[in-house]
Amino acid sequence: MTKSVQIYDTTLRDGTQAENFNRSVSDKIRISHKLDELGIDFIEGGWPGSNPLAVDFFKSMQDETLKHAKLAAFGATRLFSNSCEEDKNLKALIDAKTPVITIFGKSWDIHVHDALRIELEDNLVIIEESLAYLKPHVESLFYDAEHFFDGFKKNPDYALATLDKAIKGGAECIILCDTNGGMLPHEVQPIVERVQSFLAERGSDVKLGIHAHNDSETAVANSLLALSLGVIQVQGTMNGYGERCGNGNLTSIIPALGIKMGYDCEATRNIDKLYDTAMLVDELANLPHDKYQPYVGRSAFAHKGGIHVSAVKRNPLTYEHIEPEKVGNIRRILISDQAGKSNVLHKAEKFGIELDPSSPIAASIVSELKILENQGFQYEGAEASFELLMRRALGATANYFTLKGFRAINTKRQMDQPPETEATIRIEVGGQEVHTAAMGDGTVNALDRAMRKALIRFYPALDEVELVDYKVRVLSGQQGTGAKVRVLIESKDKHEQWGTVGVSVNIIEASWQALVDSITYKLMRDEQRHTKKN
């Protein structure tokens, strides 16, 4: 029998409490539509009583149409000093005009005394009255029992009494929150089961949800365990963003529910959109994607050892717990000093290179690869450089240009002004030498501009190349400022994105190597596309 579950996303509210996590109103609207496409049931848009940005978002969303998801506004129970009618927070929730309102209240007696500074009975009053006041204004009313698990451990009778008041106030779903994120799975089960017994004793049909934080690295486990016990709603965030160590990660929870536990909801039916959704959230937050993240990380289905690669090619189940395509991800075969011939042959197939397994060229590529990696080269993030390496070994790469020399000069004229950087370069293309110069924001940028300036008259398509990322890593600190560095460059055009690498004791030389590979790869790919078209 298929089990149903509700997915409640709080990336736009709880997720934004993460350090360095900021989004504009337009970003939040874009993410809302992406979550809707994925099939998220409820999207918590923020706390309209907390800041003008949240108010603007909810106002803007009134002109937007969501196909499946329902938008939720989030807030707190009323202040004890106010009546419901006078409480600005409750008024802001109603003014947001969302079909769903979620409010939280205190479940832990220490919070009632130390945070609210009211009596325990007074807290019970504001929970019931706040919910009852909001009930006529929304389609669905949810209650987040904040700090419920900690509160239950300290004073179980009072924690359960707060739930009783939420039920009387009209909450249709009560979400049990591990707000401090300290619960372990073996502690969650008996508490959830006690709450279920408590509801049964009262003949209540109110539904239960789970909202777990990740301070003990157990948010996903606690969420899945609660759902297996009959909880029907799970709250979390995309990529696990949230205050401190984050929230329950929906990019891990959703595939576990749909692929492994037999749960059904709109998001599990659209699970192949999960990877793209996770990437968009990171991109709009301007944060790097966690490559090691389960299911949606770039390394989640990456294989490095030659034995692994050989086995995966025969049967992916040997080293993969699910097919990566199910969540929109892909299988990646990495090239490293652990690589055997299987890795190289797999990459050749991916690049469209015909390489005979018995050919000595395959063995020579593996040998050269290991020599280069011993020097500090690494191709896991620079597949374009590795493809060029393979094609050069086969004599299948054109010589698009030849460097005759370059010079870069940094000049500091005034202490309160940034340095001025100028690069001059001499390049030969088809027997014609070009000598040009360019200014830039730093040496690498100046070299990049000078090289493109020299080449663009021969290869106009270089104008569309954009340098996306530039990373420098010191390979060994033992030589101090004379240590080798590895430079990784990420470039893109209107067709694709690619990575290249360079290694040297001279950062400019390493950067030049990566830049040359980047430009060469672009020209090669354009030539391939032109040949294929004709």
The reply to whether 376-400+466-534 shares the fold of 3-285 is: no
The residue type found at 310 is: S
What is the pLDDT, as a whole number, of residue 479?
46
User: Residues 91-125: pLDDT tens digits?
Assistant: 999 999 999 999 999 999 999 999 999 999 999 99
d(CA 54, CA 61): 11
- Mean local confidence (pLDDT), 255-271: 96
User: Residues 10-65: pLDDT tens digits?
Assistant: 999 999 999 888 888 989 999 999 999 999 999 999 999 788 889 999 999 999 99
Torsion angles phi and psi, residue 145, rounded to 5: -85, 90
User: Residues 186-209: pLDDT tens digits?
Assistant: 999 999 999 999 999 999 999 999
CATH of domain 401-458: 3.30.160
* Angle, CA 298 vertex, CA 292 and CA 301 arms, to 5°: 85
**Angle between helical axes of 25-38 and 274-285 (0-180°, round to 10):** 170
d(CA 245, CA 230): 26
Torsion angles phi and psi, residue 181, rounded to 5: 70, 25
| Domain 3-285, architecture per CATH | Alpha-Beta Barrel (3.20)
d(CA 461, CA 163): 65
| CB-based contacts of 154, cutoff 8 Å, min separation 6 | 108, 109, 110
User: Residues 388-446: pLDDT tens digits?
Assistant: 988 888 887 788 999 999 998 988 888 888 888 999 999 999 899 999 999 988 888 89
Domain positions in the chain are: 3-285, 302-375, 376-400+466-534, 401-458
* pTM of model > 0.85: no
- Regarding predicted confidence, which is higher, 139 or 24? 139
**pLDDT band for position 456 (cuts 50, 70, 90):** very high
d(CA 299, CA 304): 10
CATH of domain 376-400+466-534: 3.30.160.340
d(CA 136, CA 209): 22
Pairing of strands 42-46, 402-411: unpaired
Give the start-end residues of each E strand in 117-157. Answer: 140-146
